[in-house]
Chains A and B, each alone.
Chain A
């Protein structure tokens, strides 16, 4: 059947409007869907992430929005489970017209959402999830990660441990029994074999996620007396483990390495002793030795503390990186489109090679859409200025130094890491200062 007259005109107009790649008129608002944990144990990260996003978008909107377009954040709860998350993600894009999605905190969520974003052709900013396999084993046109990954975090942890306690002979691990706990230990083990092949792993303990009691694990570690105890646990699990271990003297007996402890330090207060190796999934820290006195950092810490009553922790900095990266990508894409509102394809293309300053270090997005983010580790110290432990003997590892090169897989790269990396000249060190 041939289409004639007004119907043909309408059809032609409709077809033209459906073309996706041309720069377009500015929308009334930019809807940004944000997947974060608003329920369940991981809401200890998800809610701070949301609080930070609210602050950042309020600030952006107060300055006129992104390229003059106000931003409207819409939140999706990751805690509802993967199937519900995918349905909600689709709904926010298709019904609420989101042009950008931030997804997500859990690596499982990121793995599930990346193909959905491809299907929907929506810009998907992976704002907090850590699994290194996403861009090592897959190629996602519409997804980008604005922070480092587990490989970089674990490599920096290993290098710091090798530097500060080179003579350790035995090690034990107590990780949460789920993907992150297992994957992070696999990376650490591969690196240990390369850097310190004679080290003996005396216990590999994987208590269930959300375990309320670590007494038996602590008794076993007390009996085994390993030189080093490492745990990549987080949230309530880490708090429980540290307070039970501290009460029974285990923290004094072994050197503890806790790569995610920055997010627990304020809560743990005086429970956390001196001498524990701590990290923050990046170079985030409200007392960052290089950036703690910048107006941006001071303004953020003040606003966040006023809103929530506590100091910001690493997910809030990851949110800052996602929001700042998005703004910079829009600005770059907008300039390339001659000042017009860029398409989603132009925005995602603008992310490639993008360099932007976050509240702490500078983030670079590689060609594989993986972000390079500096990593910071330190050793806890008690100071009179704060009622909780702070970082001392800080080491700052450049993202490029500790991130698996493009095209390689982290497990393979860890297996061939050289001891020279421990003393690389690009590593900066700092002591605690007021």
Chain B
């Protein structure tokens, strides 16, 4: 039983990680707690589902859905994410956190309505990619390969890829430099404005990728972004905002905790992610993976 619960937990945690790591990255670099992140997840899901439905409707092969997921995620991250950063967020960097929260919340509400206008209110799903990958039998229980293998593999690839990108590429190192000391980085010729824009686009694309992958397994309805942003906050806060590897561990903890609850105490299923967060923050208020630093004067 525990093993079966663990398999579901890994698949669920992987999806949350994809969204939460984008949120964490944006906070880590830009210092903005972005409520509109949930909208990128939702728009990514809607765009991907629409693209897949259009492609399958035209008789194109189902495997095309997978590159379409990636293209949709990048498109949403660059176009929508880029517009939000360049037109709005850029004006409020360094301002009070309350103002940042209010502005990103307003963006979230506007984008929620925009989704309704563009995609309608009728539940939408495009499950062909999930069915195309088939099922696998584990101890007499059928799992979809899509949820059990593909989504965790993508999450792992994102984790490793982000780590390599930030540590091994010059652009990644520039991001780290701006995060550590924006003024010093700018003095050394790094274009911080450009770094902020690209980081925001990457974060938004990761949320959209989570949405795109979920569009094959879940029905898209108005409001899907709000549920995901709350869970992502729980993951990011548990890990410590700005911690990428920490987000992976926290997402896994929350996924496994939730699955175990469904088996052994279903009434706590909804509470578990937040219970984990509260317990962690009570013991380590800065999050599991944040190390306290001396304040610069």
Q: A44-B121, A212-B227, A220-B262 are in contact. Are A239 and B131 (CB under 8 A)?
A: no
In angstroms, Cα B270 to Cα A206, docked, is 9
A216 within 8 A of B: yes
The residues in B between 1 and 60 inclusive whose CB is less than 8 angstroms from any CB of A are: 1, 4-5, 7-9, 11-12, 15
User: Are B218 and A240 closer than 8 Å at their CB atoms?
Assistant: yes
Q: Does residue A289 face the partner (Cβ distance < 8 Å to B)?
A: no
Contact (Cβ within 8 A) B262 A217? yes
Contact A212–B263 (Cβ < 8 Å): no
Cβ–Cβ contact B222 & A39, under 8 A: yes
**Closest residue of chain A to B266, judged by CB?**
A205
Q: Evaluate contact between A248 and B144: CB separation under 8 angstroms.
A: yes
CB pair B219 A223 closer than 8 Å:
no
Question: Cβ of A381 < 8 Å from any Cβ of B?
Answer: no
Is there an interface contact between A41 and B9, defined as CB atoms closer than 8 Å?
A: no
- Name the residue on A nearest B121 (C-beta): A43
Asked if B266 and A239 make an inter-chain contact with CB atoms under 8 angstroms apart, the answer reads no
A-side contacts of B270, CB under 8 Å: 177, 207-208
Q: Chain B's nearest CB lies how many Å from the CB of A298?
A: 23
| Chain A residue at minimum C-beta to C-beta distance from B231 | A212
Whether A210 and B223, one on each chain, are in contact in the complex, defined by CB atoms closer than 8 angstroms, is yes
CB distance from B140 to the nearest CB of A (A): 8
Against A, the Cβ 8 Å flags (1 = close, 0 = not) of B110-128 are 0001001000011101010
- Whether, in the assembled complex, B259 has its beta carbon less than 8 Å from a beta carbon of chain A, the answer is yes
Residue B236 is within 8 A (CB to CB) of chain A in the complex = no
Q: Distance (Å) between the CB of A75 and the closest chain B CB?
A: 14
Q: Check if B143 is an interface residue, CB within 8 A of chain A.
A: yes
- Chain B: interface size category: 35 or more
B123→A267 contact, CB < 8 A: yes
**Are B222 and A41 within 8 A (Cβ)?**
yes
Answer yes or no: A213 CB below 8 A from chain B CBs.
yes
Contacts of A223 in B (CB 8 A): 1, 4, 140-141
Given A216-B9, A223-B141, A236-B219, A243 and B125 contact (CB-CB distance below 8 Å) = yes
Residues in chain B near residue A177, CB distance under 8 A: 270
B12 adjacent to A210 (CB under 8 Å):
no
Contact present for A41 and B143 (CB under 8 Å): no
Q: Given A41-B223, A208-B270, A222-B142, check contact A216 B135 (CB 8 Å).
A: no
27 CB-based A-B contacts, threshold 8 Å: A44-B122, A44-B123, A44-B221, A47-B122, A205-B262, A206-B266, A206-B267, A206-B269, A211-B227, A213-B12, A213-B15, A213-B218, A215-B12, A219-B4, A219-B7, A219-B141, A220-B263, A222-B141, A236-B218, A236-B221, A236-B224, A240-B125, A244-B217, A247-B127, A247-B131, A267-B219, A310-B122
Interface residues of A (CB under 8 A from B): 39-41, 43-44, 46-47, 177, 203-208, 210-213, 215-217, 219-220, 222-223, 235-237, 239-240, 243-244, 247-249, 264, 267, 271, 310
Q: Which of B205-247 contact A (CB under 8 A)?
A: 214, 217-224, 227-228
Q: Which of B4, B116, B123 contacts A239 (CB 8 A)?
A: B123
List 19 extra interface pairs beyond A177-B270, A207-B270, A220-B263, CB under 8 A. Answer: A41-B223, A43-B116, A43-B121, A44-B123, A204-B266, A205-B262, A207-B262, A212-B217, A213-B12, A215-B147, A216-B9, A220-B262, A236-B123, A236-B220, A240-B125, A247-B135, A247-B144, A248-B144, A310-B122
**Residue B258 is within 8 A (CB to CB) of chain A in the complex:** yes
- Bound CA span A121–B12, Å: 51
Q: Which 5 A-B pairs have the closest CB atoms?
A: A236-B221, A236-B219, A239-B219, A43-B121, A236-B123
Minimal beta-carbon separation of B219 from chain A (angstroms): 4
Q: Which residues of B contact A249 (CB under 8 A)?
A: 135, 142
Report Cα–Cα, A343/B130, bound state, in Å.
59
Q: In the complex the two chains form, is B223's CB within 8 Å of A216's CB?
A: no
Q: A211 CA to B141 CA in the complex, in Å? A: 22
* Contact status of A40 and B143, CB under 8 A, knowing A208-B269, A243-B127: no
Within 8 Å by CB of A240, from B12, B219, B263, lies: B219
- Nearest-neighbour CB distance to chain B for A258, whole angstroms, equals 14
| A210 & B224 in contact (Cβ 8 Å cutoff) | yes
Cβ distance A144 to chain B, nearest Cβ, rounded Å: 28
Residues of chain A within 8 A (CB-CB) of B222 are: 39-41, 43
Chain A residues closer than 8 Å to B142, beta-carbon distance: 222, 248-249
Bound together, the chains give a CA A378 to CA B214 distance in angstroms of 32
Q: How many angstroms between the C-alpha atoms of A387 and B295 in the bound complex?
A: 64
A39, A213, A244, A248 interface centre (most CB from chain B within 10 Å) = A213
Determine the distance from Cα of A249 to Cα of B143 in the docked complex, in whole angstroms.
9
Q: Chain A residue with minimal CB distance to B123?
A: A236
Alpha-carbon distance between A243 and B262 when the two chains are bound, in angstroms: 19
**Which residues on B sit within 8 Å (CB–CB) of A41?**
221-223
Contact A40 B218 (CB under 8 A): no
Question: Which of the residues B125, B219, B262 comes within 8 Å of A216, measured between beta carbons?
Answer: B262
The answer to whether B11 and A219 touch across the interface, beta carbons within 8 angstroms, is no
Contact A216 to B123, CB < 8 A, known contacts A39-B222, A208-B270, A235-B221: no
A247: chain B residues within 8 A (beta carbon): 127, 130-131, 135, 144
Q: Which residue of the partner chain, among A207, A219, A220, A235, contacts B123 with CB atoms under 8 Å?
A: A235
Q: How far is the CA of A222 from the CA of B5 in the complex (A)?
A: 12
Check if A219 sits within 8 Å of B121, measured CB to CB.
no
B218 in contact with A216 (CB, 8 Å): no
In the assembled complex, which residues on chain B have CB atoms less than 8 Å from the CB atom of A267?
122-123, 125, 219
Q: How far is B127's CA from A369's CA once the two chains are assembled, in angstroms? A: 44
Shortest Cβ distance from A237 into B: residue = B219
Across-interface contacts of A243 in B (CB, < 8 A): 125, 127, 217, 219
Q: Please, which residues of chain A bring their CB within 8 A of the CB of B121?
A: 39, 43-44, 46-47
A271→B127 contact, CB < 8 A: yes
Shortest distance between the CB of B120 and any CB in chain A (Å): 8
Taking CB atoms, residues of chain A closer than 8 Å to B116 are: 39, 43
B217 and A240: CB pair below 8 A? yes
CB distance from B3 to the nearest CB of A (A): 10
Q: A177-B270, A206-B266, A220-B262 are in contact. Are A212 and B218 (CB under 8 A)?
A: yes
Please, which residue of chain A has its CB at the minimum distance from the CB of B269? A207
**Central interface residue in B116, B214, B266, B267, by most chain A CB within 10 Å:** B266
Tell me the chain B residues, 240-288 only, with Cβ under 8 Å from chain A.
Answer: 258-259, 262-263, 266-267, 269-270
- CA–CA, A247 and B15, complex, Å: 19
A271: nearest chain-B partner, CB-CB: B127
Q: Which residues of A contact B141 (CB under 8 A)?
A: 219, 222-223, 248
CA distance A310 to B123 in the complex (A): 13
Which chain A residues border B219 with CB–CB below 8 Å?
Answer: 235-237, 239-240, 243, 267
